[in-house]
A and B are shown apart, each in its own frame.
Chain A
Amino acid sequence: MKALIIALLLYSGYSASANNSILVVANTAITNIELNRQEVRNLFMGSSLSYGLSAIALPPNNHTRILFNTKIVGLTESRIQAYWAQMKFTGRKKAPKELADEQLVLDYLENNQGAVGYLPSYIKIPNGLTILYEID
């Protein structure tokens, strides 16, 4: 399934501009944070880490989100939506704020301290932002 999704993305030419690497990027004063995959997953599934970071997501069907779901979260979009329904209607957690595309995420990260988002590696990351995690 995972291989199939990635193969489909490759075939569709989404990744023609670079590879399928994903960067997790934050606007944070603490620049020596290194997260592992599990911590990144928790962060985007509604758990707050001790660094005071607030997650920003891309919308469903965005190809960067699909790669992020597959490589880091390890769930299909359907399961992620079901999870957020469960969290919302039991008052446990709130889904990350969603922005329409990668450029808007980048703009938001630059302007909001504590914000963390995921971006494709071909996007040039400005100096003020910190890369917390990278996956090929």
Chain B
Amino acid sequence: MLRIHRFIPASSLVLFSCWMSSLQAETNDKLQFSGFARVIAGYLNEEHGTFLGYDDSISFTEQTLLGLQLDYQVMDNLSVTGQAVARTADDSDSGIEWLYLTYTPSNAWKFKIGRQRTPIFNYSDIIDVGFAYPWISLPQQVYRGFLFPTYEGLQSQYEYVGKNISLGLEAYIGGIEREFVANGQVLDTDIDNLRGIVGTVGYQGWNFRASYHRGHADINQPELNAFSNQLRQFGFMQSADSIKTDGVGRFYQISAFYEDVDYFFRTELMQIKADLSLSPKTKGYFISGGLNFYPVSVYLSISKDTNRYLQPVAEIPTGINAQLDALAFGYQQTFSQSQDNSTLSYTAGIRWDWQENLALKAEATLLKENEGTQGLFTTRDVNNFDGQAILYQVAMEWVF
């Protein structure tokens, strides 16, 4: 069934984008409006499970969005930028993604202070601007990590451009208190002591990137905290300690991209080490290659991950009385949504740059759970689903 009523916000976005395009023409050099929009339709060929909100009906709203950016040049080396994103998905958050002041003391140095997207992976800070990358949905095995998507703080950038090589170094520090949406769940999160460093090397058509990020996350989950306290009152300290709603997350990332007029190759590997019940230790990567037949490009990708969660401890005795049995059962239940898994996906897609600022894309992704049942699909009918499905998507990507 086509969800007509959910198509309305998507078409409104397009009309609004048109209006913004005309507004842009009226602005002067100091004040600039710009923006991006993506309208994505998706269909999952599976009636017993859902992925990224997609099921076996065509939906336009899971990833459709509109972003508006305003840049104001206060002085020669000082500017202010704000970016707001409106999303159409029921279970996602809209709002201010970027709001920062940029100070550029020299050609080599740049400092940004304010709310910013965390540059964890190559596309983490550009995830909403589909026009900037070939895929419709970025490889989820690398890009679905939900910790630390934005922060408020200071970022410094340094660039060295040599005869044959260019080097970039970015470092940032900050924190944020904000609600995030992960897997359809709203999480009230307090992030502090977040910091990271990103190094890049450009050589001919190659671009290499390596980065390290670290932050402390405190995810407010009152029910889990109350249960943990209850375990503590009963004297089950190890069990209480094993339910961790706060802890440190560390991200390690390396990537190598190559592109020229004829073809492109991209690979990115990451590892997440987090000691929170909700966030697994993850290793993930993707490898992607494509050919350019300007204005069309085609690509293939493979991506894989493994996720290892904190394990429950066997501390609460069972079979003694009903109260302890209930406690043991409740304890096991808290871990039921975090089971180890491994997933794999294959993607084939095509992008057609119809206009210089407008691209059309089509993509098919075979999603496969290699191990475990909680890797990819959010809801499922366990008895009738083999953990494998194909997601079909078409998209219009626009920048203005």
In the complex, the answer to whether B131 meets A82 with C-beta atoms within 8 Å is yes
> How many residues does chain B have at the interface if contact means C-beta atoms less than 8 Å apart?
49
Contact partner of A77 (CB less than 8 A), chosen from B166, B264, B294, is: B294
A86 CB contact (under 8 Å) in B126, B164, B262, B295: B126
Contact B161 A78 (CB under 8 A): no
Q: A39-B161, A81-B353, A89-B36 are in contact. Are A76 and B102 (CB under 8 A)?
A: no
Beta-carbon contacts under 8 Å, A81-106 to B: 81-83, 85-86, 88-92
Contact flag A75-B353 (CB < 8 Å), given A36-B163, A38-B163, A89-B126 = no
| A60 to B399 Cα, complex, angstroms | 15
The answer to whether B11 has its CB under 8 Å from any CB of chain A is no
Q: Is A70 an interface residue (CB 8 A)?
A: yes
Whether B205 sits at the interface, judged by CB under 8 Å, is yes
Given contacts A78-B297, A78-B353, contact A2 B261 (CB under 8 A): yes
**Contact flag A78-B359 (CB < 8 Å), given A85-B399, A91-B81:** yes
A-B contact count (CB 8 A): 106
Assembled-state Cα–Cα distance A78/B362 (Å): 16
- Residue numbers in B under 8 Å from A15 (CB-CB): none
Check if B117 is an interface residue, CB within 8 A of chain A. Answer: yes
Q: What are the residues of chain B within 8 A of A76 when measuring CB–CB?
A: 261, 292, 294-295, 297
Answer whether residue B309 sits at the interface, using C-beta atoms and an 8 A cutoff. no
Measured between beta carbons, the chain A residues less than 8 angstroms from B163 are 36, 38-39
Question: Which residue numbers of B lie inside 8 Å of A, CB to CB?
Answer: 34, 36, 67, 69, 81, 83, 98, 100, 102, 107-108, 110, 112, 116-117, 119, 125-126, 128-129, 131-133, 157, 159, 161, 163-166, 202, 204-205, 259-262, 264, 292-295, 297, 351, 353, 356-357, 359, 399
Hey, which bits of chain A sit against chain B, CB under 8 A?
A: 1-2, 5, 36, 38-39, 42, 47-50, 52, 60-61, 69-70, 74-79, 81-83, 85-86, 88-92
Question: Closest 8 CB pairs between A and B?
Answer: A48-B107, A78-B353, A86-B132, A76-B294, A1-B262, A60-B356, A85-B132, A47-B161
